[in-house]
Each structure stands twice: as C-alpha cells, then as structure tokens.
Structure 1
Amino acid sequence: MIDLFVAAEAEIVSPPILQPADVFLDTAGEDIRRRLFVTTGADGEELCLRPDFTIPVCREYLSRGVPGRVATMAYMGSVFRQRPGESGEFQQAGIERFGETDRPRADAEIFRMAIEATELFDVLDPEIQIGDEGLFTALLEALELPLPVRRRLRSLFGDRAKLEAGLEQLVARDGGDIVAHAGFLGALAGANPEAARAVVEDLLAIAGITAVGGRTAHEIADRFLQQAALKAEGGLTREKADTIGRFLTISGDPVKAARELDRFQREMHIDIAEAVATFRARSKAMKALGIDLASLAFRADFGRNLDYYTGFVFEIRDPARRDGKPVVGGGRYDGLIERLGARVSVPAVGFSMWLDRLAGVELDGGLA
C-alpha cells in the first residue's frame, strides 16, 4: 500500500495525535463532533485525539508552503473516535491531493487508487457507492433559494430522512424552531449579523452554555441567525421542494445517471448543466483509467457524514462484511483549506481506509 502511495509521488506525513478541538468542532460535522475524545492542555486549550487524518493533513499542508501549490500527502496510523461496538482506537491509512486544478482527472485518479488499495486486501468485487454533492449545491443555487434555506438543506444532505423532514418544515414555515423562538428571532432579524451573534453568544455564556450536542456557542448563534433570516425572507415553496425531491430519486450507473440528470433539467426547467458537465467529465476520466462504470452505483441523495465535502464522494464496501460498514471512503473538499485559514480556495481530494475493517491490521506507532 505504501508503494502505491509512493508511486503517486506522495510524501508520507504523520500529524500530531493531539489536535486543537475547535478545528474539528467548526469544520468536521456533527457525526465527528459527538465522537471526539476531548482533553484540556496545561494552558487551558481544549484538545482532542485526532478523529481522522484529513483535517490534520490539511493543517500540515498549510504549514509547509503557499496554499494552492500542488502536493500529495499520504499517512498511516491511529485515529480515535467513540464507536459503539468497535474499538475507540483504530488504524487508518489514506492519501490527500492538493492544488490539482483538473478536478475530474484528480477525482478519477484518487478513486482508482482507492480501488487498487482495496484490492491489496483481497476485496476484489467491492460494492461501490458514489455521489456528487456539487450537483445538489448547483440545484439549490439554480432554484434561487434564500441563503439560509440553502445552508439548512446543505447541512442535512446525506441523510435522506432528515433532509425530507427539513424540506417539509421549510415548506410549512410555521413549525419547529421558527415558532418556538418567534419573538427572539424577530428581534434578531435585520440586525447587524456580528452584533446579533455577539448577543446570542453572551446569552449562552450567561447561562453557562459552551456547547450543545457537540455544537459550539458560535455555531448555536449562527443557527439562530439562520432561523431569523428564514423568518424574514420566507421558507420554501411546495413546487421547489418537489423539484428537490425529484432530484433525490435519481440513481443508476454514471452513464444512466447522466441521462437522468439531463431529463431532470428538461422536465423541471432547471439549469445545472455546468455541474452535470463536470459529472460527465469525471466519468470519462474514470473510464479512461480502466474503471468499469457499470460497477458503480450513483445516488443523487448520497453524501458522507462530514460537513466539508463539496463535490465527488464515494464509499467502498466489502460484501463479506455483514455490518455493511464502509472500508474506504473519500471525496472532494475544495473549501476546507480556506476554512482552516488560507486566503484562497484550494482544490483537494482524497480517501481514507479503515484498516481494522479490512484485515484487522495492527500497526505500531504509525509510519513516519
């Protein structure tokens, strides 16, 4: 596997096990946040054991040169998450590629490498699920939805049941948080965003609340501001909700899915042509690398449980595993480097492997 990474001109890195907790609280998503092992440093800084490698490797990339440069970094070692029924410490390996502007080609190359790495563990007939969060984002923009509505739906993408429930709530415009906090939201609506956020954070501090359900006080404040904007700008029409629902049903291998996406655009009078062209270019690049497109299962509603993904996503499963959990997962996350402090958006794509699920591999101390 390391030979595979080295052949891709990857530098092998080993980020620190102890990481700033706020980085994961702000960027990783609720699923990771609630699984963190958190501790406090001697100076009072909140720290966590690294729950994955992607964010630490991105921080390593930022520390080593100008953001936007082309670089490939690979890793292998322990990560730590609270996992019911499984060990809280387990081994991951993977690779991240930064700065490659030919996104379809980079997606295809990383994807092919993930398949090849899986084959090293004798998973020769895997179940492969793919998706494209960029298509969903393009749809929300094409529907010209208010920004708070887009943010809300984007945060629910990947969980079909929650997304459908969120659509219904936004169509109703009279349920859940908006009614429960109507007076407070009315006071926030139209206020200066920074001042309104400060008011909410001060109220939380007075109540002694620093985090709820893994969300920081800052995130809670942002959620209230989103709800205030929804109250002021309106929710979601039934027609647009139905259009989103229709989009979520699209599935099939990449060739069939592309035809369905064209049909969807024609019937719904929606223009997401640029995102569909990217989807087709990626499929073409995959085919050129010898990947059998007919073996891939695309679902328009498929997303991964990490907030930073922005485009192509995938998971590979071993049909011999009864629990159905993925053994490899990855995708594109073009906005993450910027969220971690860069002044520019940096193209980025990669994958991680759960080595304990693949072969029960035990590694001592990682690889430096």
Structure 2
Amino acid sequence: MDHLVGAGYARCEPPLLQPAAAFFESGEDMRGRLYLTHDVSGTELCLRPEYTIPVCRQYIASPAFGQPASFSYCGPVFRLRRDGPGEFIQAGIESFGRADREAADAEILAVSLEAATLATSVRLETTIGDAGLFGDLLDSLAIPTQWRRRIIRGLAQGKGLAGILDAPRNGHIDHSGVLAALEGVDKKGARALVEDLLAIAGITSVGGRSAAEIADRFLEQAALKGGSGVPAEARQVMERYLAVSGDPDEASAALRALVADAKLPLEGALERFDNRLGFMGAHGLDVRALRFSTRLVRNLDYYTGFVFEARDAAKPSDPPLVGGGRYDRLATMLGASAPVPAVGASLWADSRAAGEAA
C-alpha cells in the first residue's frame, strides 16, 4: 500500500456492506457469487465482492466528482467460491476524471505491475487487449445489439467465434411460448408481461436477476430467433481480427492492414492504440515484452476500453495476479448524471483468489 500511496493514489476504504443492485449489472459470474442480506427496510445488501464499484460510488458522492482523482485500496472482499474461504484480500488502484485516457491507461498498467512485482517477487507475463477497439469494430460492421452481447459474453467464457455464432440460439430449454408472446412487443411491454408472469408465480427475481433483466434476456432470445444471423462478410472480418495476437507493434500493423482491406472507419481507434503503446514506453515498460491479444475479454461487464492481465511467468496457466482496464461508463451505470473517464487495476497475492475474483 505504501508504494501505491507514494505513487499518488490516496487510500480509500468503502464500507463492507454495499447495495447489492450495484453489482447485478457486472455480469452473471459476479451476480451468482454475492453474499446477500437485507436491511430493516428490505433493501438488498451484499458483502463487498470487489472494490471498483464501491470506490466509484464513493467518488460519485464526493465533491471531487467530475474532477481528476486517484485512489488506492487494500482489504477483504467476499465471494462465494467453489472451494476455500469466501474472504480474501484485494488491493488496487482507480483513476477517475483524466481526459488523457491513453496516458492514464499506461500509468495504471505501470504502477500496478510495479506494485505486484514488489509484493510477490515473481516475474510477470502481461497480456494487453482493447475492448473499445473490438466494440468499434462491431459498430462498423453493424452487428445487432443482441449478437454483440452474445459474442462478447462467449469470448469472456473462452469460446471460439464459430462456437458462439453457430450454437443453438435457444439452448436446451423451450421458451417458445414466452418468445411468441413477446413477438412484436416493445421493451416496456415485454417487461410488463414478464413481471406479470413472475408475479403470478410469486417470484420477484431469478438467480439475482430482476424481472426487467429477465425480460431483456427474453427479448434478446426473441431477436436471435427471428434474425438471420451475422453476415458471412462480417464474420470473416471478425475471424481475421480475433486471429491477431503477439507483439503489440506487429499487432498494430496487422490491424491497420485489416482496416484498410475491409475499408473500416477505425483509424482513430488505432491511433489511440498506438498512442497508448507510446505512453507505456514512456513509463519505462518494455512494450516488446508485452503480448497483445484481440481475444482478451475480462469477465466483468463494465470494461469498455484498454484491458490487461498479468500472470506469474513460471505458471502461465494460473489465474492472473493483476488485472484491470478502462470502464468509462460505470459511473452512469451507478446513477451518475454524466460518464466519467475511469481506469483501474486489482492485485491479488494468491492466484487461487485471483481466479475466483478476476
């Protein structure tokens, strides 16, 4: 912690009890592993499962909201685990409000890697990615929202593109009656219908999902069922994109060749990519020692740009000891009136805990 504070990241310690609703949008993996309780008014609470959302909530409520601010933390977090205790220590840093996004990304990477090296004394192997670049690619290919969610969710689960696009669209459970009832219904009407069905059954939520979230999932399934899928040309572009990995500078060249061949309007995104690499070098990082992967997708839904993970080089199959990235839309997801540039990283001393928390 002294290293993080000395680097300009003020100590922050959010409450252990947090509003559970704040974490429900972080992804299914997070939702199913919360330690839940209620207060006397019936509000659903949870033990703090990670720090980024609590620190962001505290920043939103502070007079510094909208201004550059940097925080560090170190303390217990709580998640249901397949084995072992559900409490473990997480440290990390968060940076809010910096307009120089690529410089902030590089600083977070450099500071967190240095802190992890000091804390663990292991040689780290670091992989970087760019969720924002992939999002821009999907935009330029006009991939429908429902397919975007399916693709990103599948990549986060380690699936290949073929397995994602060619998988049965309705799974093994027959929801044809509900899907037929939702056909042609707008989002508001769909939510009302699902809420009525759940109310009749005496159900308020399923697996931590609200009626509105369940309605959105049914709407997604209905759209996938009724659509024609991803066009072959767009699929070929995505396959070529997802095949890019390795040296960051060589990856940049490969991506620029793809953009030129497919005539995609991604020059600005690639310029930001190259600028970020330049700032990494300015922070003393050996860019050639980093590995870039277009397939790197972190399993929390709020990441929107630069992402990274670092593992013990002697144990490359172990979970990451460091992980983080950019999450510019998290503030509005938590109720802020405007989005705020934000990037951060989490560190774990125990790779087993990292595997449960990443």
Query: Please, what TM-score do these two structures have when normalized by structure 1?
Result: 0.89
Partner of 1:222, secondary structure, is helix
For the pair 1:258 / 2:252, whether they are aligned, the reply is yes
The one-letter code matched in structure 2 to 1:191 is V
1:136 to 134, 137, 144: 134
1:267 to 245, 254, 261: 261
Q: Report the more deviating stretch, 246-255 or 350-359.
A: 350-359
Aligned-pair distance for 1:279? 0.9
Count of aligned residue pairs for this structure pair: 354
For the pair 1:237 / 2:231, whether they are aligned, the reply is yes
Change (3 A) 1:255 1:329: same
Change (3 A) 1:322 1:191: closer
- Name the residue aligned to 1:168: 166
Aligned-pair distance for 1:57? 0.5
Percent identical residues: 47
1:79-94 alignment runs, 5 A limit: 79-94=77-92
The one-letter code matched in structure 1 to 2:182 is L
Partner of 1:121, secondary structure, is helix
Q: Report the more deviating stretch, 126-135 or 203-212.
A: 203-212
Aligned-pair distance for 1:323? 5.9
Aligned-pair distance for 1:213? 4.1
2:293 to 285, 293, 299: 299
- Name the residue aligned to 1:12: 11
- Name the residue aligned to 2:202: 208
Q: Report the more deviating stretch, 13-22 or 119-128.
A: 119-128
* Contact 1:146-1:233 at 8 Å conserved across structures: no
The 2-side partners of 1:182 and 1:17 are apart by 42
The 1-side partners of 2:205 and 2:85 are apart by 26
* Contact 1:309-1:332 at 8 Å conserved across structures: yes
1:1-368 alignment runs, 5 A limit: 2-25=1-24, 27-65=25-63, 67-161=65-159, 163-169=161-167, 175-176=169-170, 180-231=174-225, 234-321=228-315, 324-357=318-351
Partner of 2:321, secondary structure, is strand
Q: Report the more deviating stretch, 122-131 or 279-288.
A: 122-131
The 2-side partners of 1:247 and 1:24 are apart by 31
The 2-side partners of 1:59 and 1:163 are apart by 35
Deviations, residues 118-174 of structure 1 (Å, cap 9, x unaligned): 1212435211111110111011101012233223323333233165422224xxxx7
The one-letter code matched in structure 2 to 1:15 is P
- Name the residue aligned to 1:362: none
Change (3 A) 1:251 1:162: closer
The 2-side partners of 1:329 and 1:69 are apart by 25
The 1-side partners of 2:66 and 2:257 are apart by 37
Aligned-pair distance for 1:231? 4.6
- Name the residue aligned to 2:356: none
The one-letter code matched in structure 2 to 1:54 is T
Deviations, residues 226-260 of structure 1 (Å, cap 9, x unaligned): 23334555432233223212211110121111011
Partner of 1:342, secondary structure, is coil
* Contact 1:38-1:49 at 8 Å conserved across structures: yes
The 2-side partners of 1:352 and 1:303 are apart by 15
* Contact 1:335-1:346 at 8 Å conserved across structures: yes
Q: Report the more deviating stretch, 187-196 or 335-344.
A: 187-196
Partner of 1:111, secondary structure, is helix
The 2-side partners of 1:192 and 1:115 are apart by 47
Aligned-pair distance for 1:207? 2.0
Q: Report the more deviating stretch, 113-122 or 343-352.
A: 113-122
The 2-side partners of 1:103 and 1:51 are apart by 27
The 2-side partners of 1:325 and 1:175 are apart by 30
* Contact 2:4-2:115 at 8 Å conserved across structures: no
Note the residue ranges of structure 2 that are not aligned, 5 or more in a row: 354-358
